A and B are shown apart, each in its own frame.
Chain A
Protein backbone atom coordinates (compact mmCIF):
# COMPACT_ATOMS: atom_id res chain seq x y z
CA UNK A 1 0.00 0.00 0.00
CA UNK A 2 2.82 2.35 0.90
CA UNK A 3 4.45 1.95 -2.51
CA UNK A 4 1.16 2.49 -4.35
CA UNK A 5 0.37 5.54 -2.21
CA UNK A 6 3.75 7.09 -2.95
CA UNK A 7 3.54 6.31 -6.68
CA UNK A 8 0.14 8.01 -6.81
CA UNK A 9 1.50 10.98 -4.88
CA UNK A 10 4.35 11.21 -7.39
CA UNK A 11 2.03 11.11 -10.39
CA UNK A 12 -0.35 13.67 -8.96
CA UNK A 13 2.42 15.89 -7.66
CA UNK A 14 4.52 15.63 -10.78
CA UNK A 15 1.81 16.80 -13.14
CA UNK A 16 1.75 20.49 -12.17
CA UNK A 17 5.49 20.49 -11.62
CA UNK A 18 5.83 19.26 -15.17
CA UNK A 19 3.59 22.08 -16.27
CA UNK A 20 5.85 24.50 -14.44
CA UNK A 21 8.56 23.51 -16.91
CA UNK A 22 6.68 25.81 -19.27
CA UNK A 23 7.86 28.70 -17.16
CA UNK A 24 11.44 27.46 -17.42
CA UNK A 25 11.06 27.28 -21.17
CA UNK A 26 9.89 30.85 -21.69
CA UNK A 27 12.13 32.91 -23.88
CA UNK A 28 12.86 30.17 -26.41
CA UNK A 29 11.71 31.16 -29.91
CA UNK A 30 8.03 31.65 -30.74
CA UNK A 31 5.11 30.98 -28.38
CA UNK A 32 4.45 27.69 -30.14
CA UNK A 33 8.12 26.69 -29.81
CA UNK A 34 8.01 27.54 -26.09
CA UNK A 35 4.91 25.41 -25.46
CA UNK A 36 6.35 22.48 -27.40
CA UNK A 37 9.71 22.74 -25.60
CA UNK A 38 7.87 22.88 -22.28
CA UNK A 39 6.05 19.66 -23.09
CA UNK A 40 9.30 17.94 -23.97
CA UNK A 41 10.98 19.16 -20.78
CA UNK A 42 8.05 18.29 -18.61
CA UNK A 43 8.15 14.51 -19.01
CA UNK A 44 11.66 13.84 -17.61
CA UNK A 45 10.86 16.27 -14.81
CA UNK A 46 7.69 14.32 -14.07
CA UNK A 47 9.71 11.11 -13.72
CA UNK A 48 12.22 12.76 -11.41
CA UNK A 49 9.36 13.93 -9.18
CA UNK A 50 7.88 10.43 -9.18
CA UNK A 51 11.19 8.96 -8.04
CA UNK A 52 11.66 11.69 -5.46
CA UNK A 53 8.25 10.83 -4.02
CA UNK A 54 9.74 7.53 -2.89
CA UNK A 55 12.35 9.41 -0.83
CA UNK A 56 9.63 11.19 1.12
CA UNK A 57 8.38 9.68 4.36
CA UNK A 58 5.41 7.39 3.77
CA UNK A 59 1.79 8.28 4.47
CA UNK A 60 0.32 11.74 4.80
CA UNK A 61 3.69 13.49 4.71
CA UNK A 62 4.33 12.25 1.15
CA UNK A 63 0.96 13.59 0.09
CA UNK A 64 1.47 16.85 1.94
CA UNK A 65 4.83 17.30 0.21
CA UNK A 66 3.30 16.67 -3.19
CA UNK A 67 0.37 18.98 -2.56
CA UNK A 68 2.83 21.69 -1.52
CA UNK A 69 4.73 21.07 -4.76
CA UNK A 70 1.40 21.46 -6.61
CA UNK A 71 0.69 24.76 -4.94
CA UNK A 72 4.16 26.14 -5.71
CA UNK A 73 3.99 24.97 -9.33
CA UNK A 74 0.58 26.53 -9.95
CA UNK A 75 1.62 29.74 -8.25
CA UNK A 76 4.68 29.94 -10.52
CA UNK A 77 2.63 29.23 -13.63
CA UNK A 78 -0.03 31.78 -12.81
CA UNK A 79 2.57 34.36 -11.84
CA UNK A 80 4.42 33.82 -15.13
CA UNK A 81 1.15 34.10 -17.07
CA UNK A 82 0.07 37.18 -15.10
CA UNK A 83 3.39 38.92 -15.73
CA UNK A 84 3.13 38.12 -19.43
CA UNK A 85 6.34 36.07 -19.28
CA UNK A 86 4.72 33.23 -21.19
CA UNK A 87 3.66 35.34 -24.11
CA UNK A 88 0.43 34.53 -25.91
CA UNK A 89 -0.61 32.20 -28.68
CA UNK A 90 -0.40 33.70 -32.15
Chain B
Protein backbone atom coordinates (compact mmCIF):
# COMPACT_ATOMS: atom_id res chain seq x y z
CA UNK B 1 0.00 0.00 0.00
CA UNK B 2 1.24 3.49 -0.85
CA UNK B 3 2.55 5.55 2.07
CA UNK B 4 0.25 8.45 1.10
CA UNK B 5 -2.84 6.18 1.21
CA UNK B 6 -1.82 4.84 4.59
CA UNK B 7 -1.31 8.39 5.89
CA UNK B 8 -4.70 9.51 4.59
CA UNK B 9 -6.56 6.61 6.17
CA UNK B 10 -4.65 6.93 9.45
CA UNK B 11 -5.68 10.59 9.66
CA UNK B 12 -9.26 9.77 8.64
CA UNK B 13 -9.46 6.95 11.22
CA UNK B 14 -8.23 9.29 13.98
CA UNK B 15 -10.58 12.13 13.11
CA UNK B 16 -13.62 9.92 12.71
CA UNK B 17 -12.84 8.17 15.99
CA UNK B 18 -12.35 11.41 17.91
CA UNK B 19 -15.55 12.87 16.47
CA UNK B 20 -17.65 9.86 17.52
CA UNK B 21 -15.71 8.43 20.49
CA UNK B 22 -17.64 10.13 23.32
CA UNK B 23 -21.08 9.38 21.84
CA UNK B 24 -20.12 5.78 21.09
CA UNK B 25 -18.78 5.34 24.64
CA UNK B 26 -22.14 6.42 26.08
CA UNK B 27 -24.09 4.30 23.57
CA UNK B 28 -22.02 1.18 24.31
CA UNK B 29 -22.15 1.74 28.07
CA UNK B 30 -25.94 2.18 28.03
CA UNK B 31 -26.21 -0.71 25.54
CA UNK B 32 -24.29 -3.01 27.88
CA UNK B 33 -26.79 -2.17 30.63
CA UNK B 34 -29.75 -2.55 28.26
CA UNK B 35 -28.75 -6.20 27.80
CA UNK B 36 -30.11 -6.56 31.34
CA UNK B 37 -33.27 -4.56 30.65
CA UNK B 38 -35.61 -6.94 32.50
CA UNK B 39 -33.31 -7.11 35.53
CA UNK B 40 -33.08 -3.31 35.65
CA UNK B 41 -36.87 -3.07 35.42
CA UNK B 42 -37.03 -5.41 38.37
CA UNK B 43 -34.47 -3.26 40.25
CA UNK B 44 -36.41 -0.05 39.67
CA UNK B 45 -39.57 -1.38 41.36
CA UNK B 46 -40.06 -0.23 44.96
CA UNK B 47 -39.20 -2.91 47.50
CA UNK B 48 -42.80 -3.99 48.09
CA UNK B 49 -43.30 -4.66 44.37
CA UNK B 50 -40.30 -6.94 43.89
CA UNK B 51 -41.63 -10.05 42.18
CA UNK B 52 -39.44 -12.83 40.82
CA UNK B 53 -39.60 -13.36 37.05
CA UNK B 54 -41.57 -16.47 36.17
CA UNK B 55 -43.53 -17.92 33.25
CA UNK B 56 -47.16 -16.71 33.14
CA UNK B 57 -49.26 -19.18 35.12
CA UNK B 58 -53.05 -19.52 35.49
CA UNK B 59 -53.08 -17.04 38.39
CA UNK B 60 -51.38 -14.28 36.39
CA UNK B 61 -53.64 -14.89 33.37
CA UNK B 62 -56.75 -14.76 35.56
CA UNK B 63 -55.46 -11.48 37.08
CA UNK B 64 -54.90 -9.98 33.61
CA UNK B 65 -58.30 -11.18 32.38
CA UNK B 66 -59.86 -9.45 35.40
CA UNK B 67 -57.98 -6.24 34.50
CA UNK B 68 -59.32 -6.37 30.92
CA UNK B 69 -62.87 -6.93 32.18
CA UNK B 70 -62.42 -4.12 34.72
CA UNK B 71 -61.21 -1.71 32.01
CA UNK B 72 -64.15 -2.66 29.76
CA UNK B 73 -66.71 -2.30 32.55
CA UNK B 74 -65.32 1.15 33.44
CA UNK B 75 -65.71 2.20 29.81
CA UNK B 76 -62.01 3.06 29.36
CA UNK B 77 -61.47 4.36 25.86
CA UNK B 78 -58.94 2.52 23.65
CA UNK B 79 -57.41 4.00 20.51
CA UNK B 80 -58.82 1.84 17.67
CA UNK B 81 -59.63 -0.87 20.20
CA UNK B 82 -55.89 -1.43 20.58
CA UNK B 83 -54.78 -2.89 23.86
CA UNK B 84 -51.43 -4.37 24.92
CA UNK B 85 -51.33 -7.16 27.49
CA UNK B 86 -47.82 -7.52 28.91
CA UNK B 87 -47.00 -10.79 30.65
CA UNK B 88 -44.42 -10.83 33.41
CA UNK B 89 -41.10 -12.06 32.05
CA UNK B 90 -38.46 -10.69 29.70
CA UNK B 91 -40.34 -7.37 29.28
CA UNK B 92 -40.45 -6.71 33.01
CA UNK B 93 -41.53 -8.13 36.32
CA UNK B 94 -45.05 -6.69 36.39
CA UNK B 95 -47.88 -8.11 34.27
CA UNK B 96 -50.03 -5.21 33.10
CA UNK B 97 -52.47 -3.83 30.62
CA UNK B 98 -51.45 -0.87 28.45
CA UNK B 99 -53.39 1.27 26.01
CA UNK B 100 -53.55 4.71 24.50
CA UNK B 101 -56.77 6.68 24.75
CA UNK B 102 -58.22 7.85 21.42
CA UNK B 103 -56.64 11.11 20.27
CA UNK B 104 -53.75 11.04 22.76
CA UNK B 105 -50.13 9.99 22.46
CA UNK B 106 -49.43 9.09 26.09
CA UNK B 107 -49.73 5.39 26.90
CA UNK B 108 -51.60 4.49 30.06
CA UNK B 109 -51.22 1.36 32.11
CA UNK B 110 -53.32 -0.66 34.50
CA UNK B 111 -51.62 -2.80 37.13
CA UNK B 112 -52.77 -4.91 39.97
CA UNK B 113 -50.65 -4.73 43.08
CA UNK B 114 -51.62 -6.89 46.04
CA UNK B 115 -55.21 -7.23 44.81
CA UNK B 116 -55.66 -3.49 44.24
CA UNK B 117 -55.96 -1.87 40.79
CA UNK B 118 -53.46 0.98 40.54
CA UNK B 119 -54.83 4.32 39.34
CA UNK B 120 -54.15 4.40 35.59
CA UNK B 121 -53.54 8.18 35.76
CA UNK B 122 -50.68 7.75 38.20
CA UNK B 123 -47.34 8.36 36.44
CA UNK B 124 -44.66 5.68 36.85
CA UNK B 125 -42.31 6.31 39.75
CA UNK B 126 -39.29 5.34 37.67
CA UNK B 127 -38.39 5.21 33.97
CA UNK B 128 -34.77 4.18 34.51
CA UNK B 129 -34.74 1.13 32.19
CA UNK B 130 -36.57 3.13 29.51
CA UNK B 131 -34.11 6.03 29.90
CA UNK B 132 -31.12 3.68 29.48
CA UNK B 133 -32.73 2.42 26.29
CA UNK B 134 -33.15 5.99 25.02
CA UNK B 135 -29.57 6.77 26.02
CA UNK B 136 -28.40 3.81 23.96
CA UNK B 137 -30.43 4.51 20.83
CA UNK B 138 -30.42 8.32 20.84
CA UNK B 139 -28.07 9.59 23.59
CA UNK B 140 -31.14 10.58 25.61
CA UNK B 141 -31.96 13.36 23.11
CA UNK B 142 -35.53 13.98 21.92
CA UNK B 143 -36.82 11.35 19.50
CA UNK B 144 -36.37 10.97 16.54
CA UNK B 145 -33.47 13.47 16.33
CA UNK B 146 -31.37 11.56 18.85
CA UNK B 147 -31.79 8.37 16.82
CA UNK B 148 -30.88 10.17 13.59
CA UNK B 149 -27.77 11.65 15.22
CA UNK B 150 -26.82 8.22 16.53
CA UNK B 151 -27.40 6.84 13.02
CA UNK B 152 -24.93 9.31 11.50
CA UNK B 153 -22.47 8.52 14.28
CA UNK B 154 -22.88 4.77 13.60
CA UNK B 155 -22.25 5.46 9.94
CA UNK B 156 -18.99 7.29 10.71
CA UNK B 157 -18.15 4.52 13.21
CA UNK B 158 -18.47 1.92 10.41
CA UNK B 159 -16.20 3.96 8.15
CA UNK B 160 -13.70 4.35 11.03
CA UNK B 161 -13.73 0.57 11.53
CA UNK B 162 -13.04 -0.11 7.86
CA UNK B 163 -10.29 2.52 7.73
CA UNK B 164 -8.78 0.93 10.87
CA UNK B 165 -8.72 -2.40 9.09
CA UNK B 166 -7.01 -0.83 6.06
CA UNK B 167 -4.35 0.67 8.34
CA UNK B 168 -3.65 -2.52 10.26
CA UNK B 169 -4.07 -5.06 7.44
CA UNK B 170 -0.40 -4.95 6.30
CA UNK B 171 0.91 -5.94 9.77
CA UNK B 172 -2.17 -7.72 11.08
CA UNK B 173 -0.64 -11.17 11.71
CA UNK B 174 2.72 -9.86 12.98
CA UNK B 175 1.37 -7.35 15.49
CA UNK B 176 -1.84 -9.05 16.57
CA UNK B 177 -0.66 -10.19 19.99
CA UNK B 178 2.15 -7.67 20.40
CA UNK B 179 1.25 -5.83 23.60
CA UNK B 180 4.45 -4.13 24.76
CA UNK B 181 4.22 -2.68 28.26
CA UNK B 182 7.07 -0.43 29.26
CA UNK B 183 8.18 3.17 29.34
CA UNK B 184 6.71 3.99 25.93
CA UNK B 185 3.17 4.70 27.07
CA UNK B 186 1.87 5.61 23.64
CA UNK B 187 3.11 2.35 22.12
CA UNK B 188 1.48 0.35 24.91
CA UNK B 189 -1.82 2.17 24.45
CA UNK B 190 -1.60 1.70 20.67
CA UNK B 191 -0.99 -2.05 21.12
CA UNK B 192 -3.97 -2.44 23.47
CA UNK B 193 -6.17 -0.40 21.11
CA UNK B 194 -5.11 -2.54 18.12
CA UNK B 195 -5.55 -5.90 19.85
CA UNK B 196 -9.00 -5.04 21.24
CA UNK B 197 -10.05 -3.47 17.93
CA UNK B 198 -8.89 -6.33 15.70
CA UNK B 199 -10.17 -9.15 17.91
CA UNK B 200 -13.60 -7.59 18.39
CA UNK B 201 -13.81 -6.27 14.81
CA UNK B 202 -16.68 -8.58 13.70
CA UNK B 203 -18.72 -7.55 16.76
CA UNK B 204 -18.17 -3.86 16.05
CA UNK B 205 -18.90 -4.21 12.34
CA UNK B 206 -22.17 -5.97 13.22
CA UNK B 207 -23.07 -3.13 15.62
CA UNK B 208 -22.21 -0.42 13.10
CA UNK B 209 -24.33 -2.16 10.46
CA UNK B 210 -27.33 -2.94 12.63
CA UNK B 211 -27.08 0.46 14.36
CA UNK B 212 -27.32 2.31 11.05
CA UNK B 213 -30.15 0.02 9.95
CA UNK B 214 -32.17 0.67 13.13
CA UNK B 215 -31.75 4.43 13.13
CA UNK B 216 -31.52 5.47 9.48
CA UNK B 217 -33.67 2.87 7.73
CA UNK B 218 -36.62 5.25 7.77
CA UNK B 219 -34.55 7.93 6.02
CA UNK B 220 -33.37 5.40 3.42
CA UNK B 221 -36.98 4.43 2.79
CA UNK B 222 -38.07 8.07 2.67
CA UNK B 223 -35.29 8.82 0.19
CA UNK B 224 -36.35 5.96 -2.04
CA UNK B 225 -40.01 6.86 -1.69
CA UNK B 226 -39.78 10.53 -2.61
CA UNK B 227 -36.70 10.71 -4.84
CA UNK B 228 -37.08 7.60 -6.95
CA UNK B 229 -40.47 5.93 -6.42
CA UNK B 230 -42.81 8.94 -6.82
CA UNK B 231 -44.24 8.44 -3.31
CA UNK B 232 -45.71 5.03 -4.11
CA UNK B 233 -44.35 2.94 -1.23
CA UNK B 234 -46.15 4.57 1.72
CA UNK B 235 -48.43 1.53 2.12
CA UNK B 236 -45.45 -0.79 2.13
CA UNK B 237 -43.81 1.24 4.90
CA UNK B 238 -46.94 0.97 7.07
CA UNK B 239 -46.96 -2.81 6.67
CA UNK B 240 -43.18 -3.30 7.01
CA UNK B 241 -43.34 -4.62 10.57
CA UNK B 242 -46.81 -6.17 10.48
CA UNK B 243 -47.39 -9.89 10.13
CA UNK B 244 -50.77 -9.35 8.42
CA UNK B 245 -52.32 -6.13 7.06
CA UNK B 246 -54.43 -4.06 9.50
CA UNK B 247 -58.15 -4.92 9.44
CA UNK B 248 -61.08 -2.48 9.67
CA UNK B 249 -63.59 -2.84 12.54
CA UNK B 250 -66.98 -4.37 11.60
CA UNK B 251 -68.87 -2.60 14.43
CA UNK B 252 -70.44 -5.93 15.46
CA UNK B 253 -70.01 -7.18 19.04
CA UNK B 254 -68.44 -10.60 19.53
CA UNK B 255 -67.24 -12.46 22.62
CA UNK B 256 -63.43 -12.66 22.80
CA UNK B 257 -61.28 -15.70 23.52
CA UNK B 258 -59.94 -15.77 27.09
CA UNK B 259 -56.20 -15.13 27.44
CA UNK B 260 -55.40 -18.72 28.42
CA UNK B 261 -57.08 -20.03 25.24
CA UNK B 262 -55.22 -17.47 23.09
CA UNK B 263 -51.86 -18.57 24.52
CA UNK B 264 -52.73 -22.23 24.01
CA UNK B 265 -53.62 -21.60 20.34
CA UNK B 266 -50.39 -19.63 19.81
CA UNK B 267 -48.38 -22.48 21.33
CA UNK B 268 -49.95 -24.86 18.80
CA UNK B 269 -48.83 -22.66 15.89
CA UNK B 270 -45.25 -22.01 17.16
CA UNK B 271 -44.35 -24.92 19.45
CA UNK B 272 -42.59 -23.84 22.64
CA UNK B 273 -43.38 -20.13 22.09
CA UNK B 274 -42.47 -18.10 25.20
CA UNK B 275 -45.15 -15.42 24.96
CA UNK B 276 -44.40 -11.95 26.37
CA UNK B 277 -46.96 -9.60 24.81
CA UNK B 278 -50.47 -9.86 23.37
CA UNK B 279 -51.62 -7.04 21.12
CA UNK B 280 -55.39 -6.84 20.69
CA UNK B 281 -56.91 -4.77 17.91
CA UNK B 282 -60.64 -3.96 17.79
CA UNK B 283 -61.19 -5.85 21.06
CA UNK B 284 -64.81 -7.01 21.33
CA UNK B 285 -65.49 -6.53 17.60
CA UNK B 286 -66.17 -9.31 15.08
CA UNK B 287 -62.97 -8.20 13.23
CA UNK B 288 -60.81 -8.37 16.38
CA UNK B 289 -57.31 -9.78 16.04
CA UNK B 290 -54.78 -10.73 18.68
CA UNK B 291 -51.05 -10.91 17.92
CA UNK B 292 -49.06 -13.00 20.37
CA UNK B 293 -45.43 -11.85 20.43
CA UNK B 294 -42.78 -14.04 21.99
CA UNK B 295 -39.61 -16.01 21.56
CA UNK B 296 -39.22 -19.38 19.85
CA UNK B 297 -36.81 -21.63 21.76
CA UNK B 298 -33.42 -22.67 20.36
CA UNK B 299 -33.42 -20.34 17.39
CA UNK B 300 -30.94 -17.81 16.02
CA UNK B 301 -33.90 -15.57 15.17
CA UNK B 302 -36.11 -16.20 18.18
CA UNK B 303 -38.51 -13.24 17.92
CA UNK B 304 -41.83 -14.72 16.73
CA UNK B 305 -45.48 -13.73 16.46
CA UNK B 306 -48.78 -15.49 15.83
CA UNK B 307 -51.84 -13.57 14.62
CA UNK B 308 -55.21 -15.08 15.53
CA UNK B 309 -58.80 -14.00 15.15
CA UNK B 310 -59.79 -12.59 18.55
CA UNK B 311 -63.17 -14.36 18.63
CA UNK B 312 -62.58 -17.88 17.31
CA UNK B 313 -58.78 -18.23 17.32
CA UNK B 314 -58.44 -18.85 13.55
CA UNK B 315 -54.81 -18.49 12.40
CA UNK B 316 -54.41 -15.31 10.31
CA UNK B 317 -50.62 -15.14 10.01
CA UNK B 318 -47.34 -16.27 11.50
CA UNK B 319 -43.82 -14.90 11.93
CA UNK B 320 -41.69 -17.79 13.11
CA UNK B 321 -38.06 -18.84 12.47
CA UNK B 322 -39.37 -21.18 9.74
CA UNK B 323 -41.94 -18.90 8.13
CA UNK B 324 -41.95 -15.11 7.70
CA UNK B 325 -42.16 -12.47 4.99
CA UNK B 326 -38.78 -11.02 3.84
CA UNK B 327 -39.00 -7.73 5.76
CA UNK B 328 -39.72 -9.55 9.03
CA UNK B 329 -36.96 -12.08 8.36
CA UNK B 330 -34.38 -9.34 7.80
CA UNK B 331 -35.61 -7.20 10.70
CA UNK B 332 -35.71 -10.32 12.93
CA UNK B 333 -32.10 -11.28 12.18
CA UNK B 334 -30.88 -7.70 12.65
CA UNK B 335 -32.79 -7.33 15.93
CA UNK B 336 -31.54 -10.67 17.26
CA UNK B 337 -27.95 -9.77 16.37
CA UNK B 338 -28.13 -6.25 17.84
CA UNK B 339 -29.87 -7.23 21.08
CA UNK B 340 -28.08 -10.57 21.57
CA UNK B 341 -31.42 -12.38 21.77
CA UNK B 342 -30.03 -15.82 20.92
CA UNK B 343 -27.88 -18.27 22.86
CA UNK B 344 -29.16 -17.38 26.33
CA UNK B 345 -27.10 -15.99 29.23
CA UNK B 346 -23.77 -17.09 27.68
CA UNK B 347 -24.24 -14.84 24.64
CA UNK B 348 -25.60 -12.09 26.91
CA UNK B 349 -22.39 -12.28 28.95
CA UNK B 350 -20.16 -12.25 25.85
CA UNK B 351 -22.05 -9.23 24.46
CA UNK B 352 -21.72 -7.43 27.80
CA UNK B 353 -17.96 -8.08 27.95
CA UNK B 354 -17.44 -7.02 24.32
CA UNK B 355 -19.52 -3.87 24.87
CA UNK B 356 -17.34 -2.84 27.83
CA UNK B 357 -14.22 -3.64 25.77
CA UNK B 358 -15.74 -1.41 23.09
CA UNK B 359 -15.90 1.43 25.64
CA UNK B 360 -12.21 0.84 26.38
CA UNK B 361 -11.52 0.91 22.63
CA UNK B 362 -13.15 4.32 22.14
CA UNK B 363 -11.52 5.77 25.24
CA UNK B 364 -8.04 4.50 24.31
CA UNK B 365 -8.53 5.71 20.72
CA UNK B 366 -9.27 9.23 21.91
CA UNK B 367 -6.30 9.19 24.30
CA UNK B 368 -4.06 8.01 21.44
CA UNK B 369 -5.22 10.94 19.32
CA UNK B 370 -4.44 13.29 22.23
CA UNK B 371 -1.03 11.74 22.90
CA UNK B 372 -0.01 11.81 19.23
CA UNK B 373 -0.88 15.49 18.91
CA UNK B 374 0.66 16.33 22.25
CA UNK B 375 3.97 14.99 21.00
CA UNK B 376 3.57 16.82 17.71
CA UNK B 377 2.22 20.21 18.80
CA UNK B 378 3.22 20.37 22.46
CA UNK B 379 1.26 19.81 25.66
CA UNK B 380 -0.11 23.37 25.73
CA UNK B 381 -2.06 23.07 22.46
CA UNK B 382 -5.66 24.12 23.18
CA UNK B 383 -7.21 21.49 20.89
CA UNK B 384 -5.18 18.74 22.54
CA UNK B 385 -6.10 19.92 26.04
CA UNK B 386 -9.79 20.28 25.20
CA UNK B 387 -9.97 16.81 23.63
CA UNK B 388 -8.26 15.20 26.60
CA UNK B 389 -10.59 16.91 29.05
CA UNK B 390 -13.73 16.14 27.02
CA UNK B 391 -12.78 12.47 26.71
CA UNK B 392 -12.33 12.10 30.47
CA UNK B 393 -15.39 14.23 31.29
CA UNK B 394 -17.84 12.53 28.92
CA UNK B 395 -16.67 8.94 29.37
CA UNK B 396 -15.92 8.73 33.09
CA UNK B 397 -18.57 11.38 33.83
CA UNK B 398 -21.22 9.15 32.26
CA UNK B 399 -20.13 6.23 34.49
CA UNK B 400 -20.47 8.48 37.55
CA UNK B 401 -23.85 9.73 36.29
CA UNK B 402 -25.03 6.12 35.94
CA UNK B 403 -24.01 5.40 39.53
CA UNK B 404 -26.00 8.49 40.61
CA UNK B 405 -29.00 7.28 38.55
CA UNK B 406 -29.04 3.87 40.23
CA UNK B 407 -28.63 5.42 43.68
CA UNK B 408 -31.31 8.07 43.05
CA UNK B 409 -33.69 5.31 42.02
CA UNK B 410 -33.32 3.78 45.47
CA UNK B 411 -33.17 6.96 47.57
CA UNK B 412 -35.73 9.38 46.08
CA UNK B 413 -38.99 9.28 48.06
CA UNK B 414 -41.82 7.45 46.26
CA UNK B 415 -44.21 10.36 46.93
CA UNK B 416 -41.93 12.89 45.17
CA UNK B 417 -43.81 14.59 42.32
CA UNK B 418 -42.15 13.91 38.95
CA UNK B 419 -39.88 11.33 40.54
CA UNK B 420 -39.04 9.64 37.21
CA UNK B 421 -37.96 13.01 35.74
CA UNK B 422 -35.83 13.73 38.81
CA UNK B 423 -33.85 10.55 38.20
CA UNK B 424 -33.05 11.54 34.62
CA UNK B 425 -32.38 15.15 35.70
CA UNK B 426 -29.84 13.98 38.28
CA UNK B 427 -28.10 11.92 35.59
CA UNK B 428 -27.80 15.02 33.37
CA UNK B 429 -26.68 17.27 36.23
CA UNK B 430 -23.96 14.80 37.27
CA UNK B 431 -22.66 14.60 33.70
CA UNK B 432 -22.53 18.41 33.51
CA UNK B 433 -20.78 18.58 36.90
CA UNK B 434 -18.22 16.03 35.69
CA UNK B 435 -17.53 18.16 32.62
CA UNK B 436 -17.17 21.20 34.90
CA UNK B 437 -14.69 19.28 37.07
CA UNK B 438 -12.44 18.24 34.15
CA UNK B 439 -12.37 21.83 32.87
CA UNK B 440 -10.95 22.99 36.22
CA UNK B 441 -8.78 20.09 37.42
CA UNK B 442 -5.96 18.25 35.63
CA UNK B 443 -7.55 15.50 33.47
CA UNK B 444 -5.58 12.73 35.20
CA UNK B 445 -6.68 13.96 38.65
CA UNK B 446 -10.28 14.42 37.45
CA UNK B 447 -10.30 10.90 35.97
CA UNK B 448 -9.29 9.39 39.32
CA UNK B 449 -11.85 11.50 41.22
CA UNK B 450 -14.67 10.54 38.84
CA UNK B 451 -13.80 6.84 38.99
CA UNK B 452 -13.58 6.97 42.79
CA UNK B 453 -16.91 8.77 42.99
CA UNK B 454 -18.53 6.16 40.73
CA UNK B 455 -17.03 3.39 42.88
CA UNK B 456 -18.30 4.83 46.16
CA UNK B 457 -21.80 5.64 44.88
CA UNK B 458 -22.03 2.31 43.03
CA UNK B 459 -21.06 0.41 46.18
CA UNK B 460 -23.62 2.36 48.19
CA UNK B 461 -26.35 1.57 45.62
CA UNK B 462 -25.42 -2.14 45.64
CA UNK B 463 -25.53 -2.25 49.46
CA UNK B 464 -28.95 -0.57 49.58
CA UNK B 465 -30.35 -2.86 46.87
CA UNK B 466 -29.10 -5.89 48.76
CA UNK B 467 -30.95 -4.69 51.88
CA UNK B 468 -34.14 -3.95 49.90
CA UNK B 469 -34.33 -6.90 47.57
CA UNK B 470 -31.78 -9.51 48.64
CA UNK B 471 -30.36 -11.77 45.96
CA UNK B 472 -32.97 -10.60 43.40
CA UNK B 473 -30.73 -7.56 42.85
CA UNK B 474 -27.56 -9.61 42.22
CA UNK B 475 -27.54 -9.47 38.37
CA UNK B 476 -27.71 -5.65 38.34
CA UNK B 477 -25.19 -5.44 41.17
CA UNK B 478 -22.76 -7.52 39.09
CA UNK B 479 -23.33 -5.15 36.15
CA UNK B 480 -22.61 -2.09 38.35
CA UNK B 481 -19.42 -3.68 39.70
CA UNK B 482 -18.22 -4.46 36.14
CA UNK B 483 -18.94 -0.91 34.90
CA UNK B 484 -17.23 0.71 37.89
CA UNK B 485 -14.21 -1.60 37.42
CA UNK B 486 -14.02 -0.42 33.81
CA UNK B 487 -13.99 3.21 35.01
CA UNK B 488 -11.16 2.42 37.45
CA UNK B 489 -9.16 0.76 34.68
CA UNK B 490 -9.64 3.71 32.34
CA UNK B 491 -8.73 6.18 35.09
CA UNK B 492 -5.52 4.17 35.61
CA UNK B 493 -4.64 4.51 31.92
CA UNK B 494 -5.37 8.27 32.06
CA UNK B 495 -3.15 8.70 35.12
CA UNK B 496 -0.23 7.09 33.29
CA UNK B 497 -0.72 9.26 30.23
CA UNK B 498 -1.60 12.80 31.35
Contacts and interface: CB of A to CB of B under 8 A. Distances in A.
Contacts of B326: 29-30, 32-33, 36
Interface in A48-74: 48, 50-51, 54-55, 74
Interface residues of A, number: 40
A77 to B, nearest CB: 4
B223 A16 contact: yes
Interface residues of B, number: 36
Nearest to A90: B236
B61 interface: no
A47 B166 CA distance: 13
A19 B225 CA distance: 10
A77 B15 CA distance: 33
Interface stretch (B155-163, B276-284, B398-406, B476-484): B155-163
A54 to B, nearest CB: 5
A47 B325 contact: no
A7 B156 contact: yes
Interface in B156-191: 156, 158-159, 162-163, 166
A11 B62 CA distance: 54
The binding surface of chain B is classed by DSSP as helix
Nearest to B14: A3
B227 A16 contact: yes
B225 to A, nearest CB: 10
Contacts, number: 96
B213 A89 contact: no
Interface string B15-26: 110010000000
A18 B220 CA distance: 9
Contacts of A30: 326
A43 B223 contact: no
Contacts of A43: 158, 209, 212-213
Interface stretch (B5-13, B100-108, B340-348, B487-495): B5-13
Interface in B110-153: 152
Interface string A15-28: 11011001000000
Contact of B159 (A39, A42, A47, A89): A47
B229 to A, nearest CB: 6
A54 B182 CA distance: 35
A30 to B, nearest CB: 7
Contacts of A83: none
B220 to A, nearest CB: 6
Contact of B9 (A35, A46, A51): A51
B12 A32 contact: no
Given A39-B217, A47-B162, A51-B163, A22 B12 contact: no
Given A39-B213, A43-B209, A50-B159, A89 B235 contact: yes
Interface string B206-247: 000100110001001101100111101101100000000000
A19 B15 contact: no
Given A4-B15, A19-B220, A32-B325, A88 B8 contact: no
A57 B227 CA distance: 29
A83 B241 CA distance: 29
B230 A50 contact: no
A67 to B, nearest CB: 15
Contacts of B229: 81, 86
B467 interface: no
A54 B224 contact: no
B5 A55 contact: yes
A42 to B, nearest CB: 7
B327 interface: yes
B330 interface: yes
A10 interface: yes
Contacts of A50: 155-156, 159
Contacts of B12: 3, 6-7, 51, 54
A33 B217 CA distance: 15
Given A7-B19, A11-B152, 14 more contacts: A4-B19, A11-B156, A33-B326, A35-B224, A35-B233, A35-B236, A38-B224, A43-B158, A47-B155, A50-B156, A50-B159, A77-B224, A78-B227, A89-B232
Give the top 8 A-B pairs by smallest Cβ distance, nearest first. Answer: A77-B228, A3-B15, A50-B159, A89-B236, A33-B326, A54-B12, A36-B330, A47-B158
Interface of B: 5, 8-9, 11-12, 15-16, 19, 152, 155-156, 158-159, 162-163, 166, 209, 212-213, 217, 220-221, 223-224, 227-230, 232-233, 235-236, 325-327, 330
Interface of A: 3-4, 6-7, 10-11, 15-16, 18-19, 22, 29-33, 35-36, 38-40, 42-44, 46-48, 50-51, 54-55, 74, 77-78, 80-81, 86, 88-90
